[in-house]
Amino acid sequence: LCVSGKNEEIIPPAVAIFSPSKQEIQQKSKATLVCLASGFYPDHLTLVWRVNGVKRTEGVGTDEFSTRNGSTYSLTSRLRMPAWEWFNPSNRFECVANFFQNGATRSMQKSISGDAG
């Protein structure tokens, strides 16, 4: 029987979105957004992308495993799209981190709008 010394403290993630690189846009006419959820514990967390409120699965690549940094974890997901979709300021890209806390699923999200170009 293994009893941990303290109750597992649940630490919610900090969520950040990073803009596409100009180089990728120029060379490949593609834009990749990167979502980073970091500083969370335990490592049960899922990342979901939404574009204008609609869940997006096409062009999404999420790391299979969280990365451990000391006592917390981080997880990265990428959303790749055609450059024209990124260069539409009315498009809203949202990364949602879902995690479990106090018997319920919680979510933290971060959003970024398309670039006017």
* Contact in structure between 110 and 95 (CB atoms under 8 Å): yes
Q: Which residues pair with 61 in a beta bridge?
A: 78
In this prediction, residue 5 carries a pLDDT of 45
Q: How confident is the model at residue 68 (pLDDT cuts 50, 70, 90)?
A: very high
Q: Please check whether residue 41 lies inside any domain of the structure.
A: yes
Q: Please check whether residue 55 lies inside any domain of the structure.
A: yes
Q: Please check whether residue 6 lies inside any domain of the structure.
A: no
Kindly report the CATH number assigned to the domain that includes residue 60: 2.60.40.10
Neighbours of 37 (CB within 10 A): 26
Q: Please check whether residue 65 lies inside any domain of the structure.
A: yes
What is the pTM for the complete model shown?
0.90
Provide the token pair at 53: 């409120």
In this prediction, residue 117 carries a pLDDT of 76
Q: Please check whether residue 3 lies inside any domain of the structure.
A: no
In this prediction, residue 77 carries a pLDDT of 99
pLDDT in tens, 22-56: 999 999 999 999 999 999 999 999 999 999 999 99
